[in-house]
């Protein structure tokens, strides 16, 4: 196998591994933060029912999604990681919302959720990719003795 072919094969296997792992992690992020809470709650400050998710659940879920996606992009191709985490979270959310919605409005929510996940995972995996390149450059400069880590 030639060098170019080996590099392509390595990317494909690494890319698929990153995609599958990110898919599982995206679904797990939704499951841990949001999937268990399906009940609306009464907000006394607003005098109305809200929900089903409390604001801190959504903030925690979003932060977890971004951090985990960035961490995965440190190791695997960022495009594969972004796609996997987006599909995993979105698919799990859509299936659960569809199973409990009688109005059909979950489709509208699903359509709105998808571009937000694409943007968030794209930004997070981009950050992870930049950090990976910077870390590799720092490691190489330390090994060569130049000490330049910018």
Identify whether 149 is part of a domain: no
Identify whether 150 is part of a domain: no
pLDDT in tens, 44-73: 888 888 878 889 999 999 999 999 999 999
Encode burial over 114-130: b for 16+ CB neighbours within 10 A, e otherwise: beebeebbbebbbbbbe
Identify whether 123 is part of a domain: yes
Identify whether 124 is part of a domain: yes
Identify whether 60 is part of a domain: yes
Q: At what angle do helices 106-144 and 78-100 cross, to 10 degrees?
A: 160
Question: What does the angle CA 32 – CA 34 – CA 35 come to, to the nearest 5 degrees?
Answer: 80
Tell me the residue range of the domain where 113 lies. Answer: 3-144
Identify whether 26 is part of a domain: yes
Q: Note the pLDDT of residue 43.
A: 84
Identify whether 41 is part of a domain: yes
Q: Is the pTM of this model over 0.75?
A: yes
Number of domains forming the structure of the chain: 1
């Amino acid at each position: 196998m030639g060098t170019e072919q080996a590099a392509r094969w390595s990317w494909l296997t690494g890319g698929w591994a990153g995609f599958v792992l990110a898919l599982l992690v995206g679904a797990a992020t939704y499951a841990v933060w949001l999937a268990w809470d399906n009940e609306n709650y009464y907000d006394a400050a607003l005098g109305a029912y809200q929900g089903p998710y409390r604001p801190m659940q959504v903030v925690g879920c979003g932060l977890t999604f971004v951090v985990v996606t960035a961490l995965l992009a440190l190791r695997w191709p960022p495009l594969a990681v972004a796609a996997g985490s987006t599909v995993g979270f979105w698919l799990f959310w859509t299936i659960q919302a569809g199973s409990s919605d009688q109005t059909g409005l979950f489709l509208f929510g699903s359509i709105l959720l998808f571009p937000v996940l694409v943007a968030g995972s794209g930004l997070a995996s981009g950050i992870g990719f930049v950090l990976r390149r910077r870390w590799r450059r720092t490691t190489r400069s330390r090994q060569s003795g130049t000490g330049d880590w910018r």
